[in-house]
Amino acid sequence: MIIDFHTHSHASDGALPPLELIKRAQAAGVSQFAITDHDTIAGYCEALAVQSGFPEGFRLISGIEMSCQWANSTIHVVGLDVDIEHELLQQGLAMLGEARQERARIIARKLAKAGMPGALEGALAEAGSSQVGRPHFANWMLAQGHVADINKAFDKYLGAGKMGDVKACWPQLDEVVQWITGSGGSAILAHPLKYRFTRTKLRRLLTAFVHAGGTVLEVYSGRQMPDQTLDLCKLATDFDLLASAGSDFHREYDYGPRLGVDCDRLPGSARLWQPKEAQ
């Protein structure tokens, strides 16, 4: 079975419209699929409107990837099978939307001090109807000639530990988990290896995540070595967490992840998360 429980459309920082993303997932043989845009369900809702035309055997699952903070680090939690109309989720989305706007204003002020005025207007224009994020600032910086390429924008200004890495706007981990679980969804700790935590700190994060009500660990994300997957599956077992997997697909590029994860890639001991109707 080929699944993908972590993807992004142009409603956040992905390159493709939701329907094009789904077409490519279907062509890759994916049967269970989630669009998990950053802090918005707009991409999922766009796809939901035409789901009657999906081929038999293909299931679209409601999803979102929410930003939060824990121990002065930005953490991402994927919510799957959420009730998108639930009041608690809607309140959370409103708060995250405001947080993104405030973060964008702070980033723009920092870039202006670094000799790049007009960044807020530029990033908002790049984002259009999408949730504004650092990639939109990077695109604007490239277009204005402030950087030679997108990687330079992140390496010097927007990446982890740089001036554009603003964390204070995000809600706390336990609050975001409660928005997801309170709206009927499953909370999944996304791409745990991307945080580059020590083993001790990662276990501390998992302890806090479980205490908050999280029940699933993303044990496979993007391009990952088999020994890393095995290690994360062992961690999931240690913390009595189910396993999830996704490509974290944003766009096509050389050596980037491809849509779809073959469940045969996961160790046989992994207890795979399943949508409610499949349980």
13 and 73, same domain (yes or no): yes
Residue 241 counted as domain residue: yes
Q: What is the pLDDT of residues 21-45, one digit of tens each?
A: 999 999 999 999 999 999 999 999 9
User: Across residues 107-116, what is the average pLDDT?
Assistant: 96
In the chain, the number of structural domains is 2
pLDDT tops 90 at residue 209: yes
Looking at residue 12, its pLDDT comes to 92
Rounded to 5°, the CA angle 181-169-4 comes to: 45
Q: How confident is the model at residue 278 (pLDDT cuts 50, 70, 90)?
A: low
73-80/186-189 β-pairing: antiparallel
Structural domain of 85:
2-92+169-278
Sign of the CA dihedral with 94 first, then 104, 197, and 265 last: positive
Q: What is the pLDDT of residues 53-63, one digit of tens each?
A: 888 889 999 99
Counting every residue written for the chain, the total comes to: 279
Q: What is the pLDDT of residues 6-18, one digit of tens each?
A: 999 999 999 999 9
Residue 164 counted as domain residue: no
146 and 178, same domain (yes or no): no
Query: Which one is predicted more confidently, 52 or 179?
Result: 179
Looking at residue 50, its pLDDT comes to 87
- What single-letter DSSP state applies at residue 223? S
Measured distance CA(194)–CA(59) in Å, rounded:
28
**pTM, rounded to two decimals:** 0.91
257 and 119, same domain (yes or no): no
220 and 117, same domain (yes or no): no
177 and 146, same domain (yes or no): no
241 and 114, same domain (yes or no): no
Query: Which one is predicted more confidently, 86 or 255?
Result: 86
Looking at residue 279, its pLDDT comes to 61
- What tokens appear for 150 in the block? 């997108």
User: Across residues 198-212, what is the average pLDDT?
Assistant: 98
User: Across residues 66-72, what is the average pLDDT?
Assistant: 95
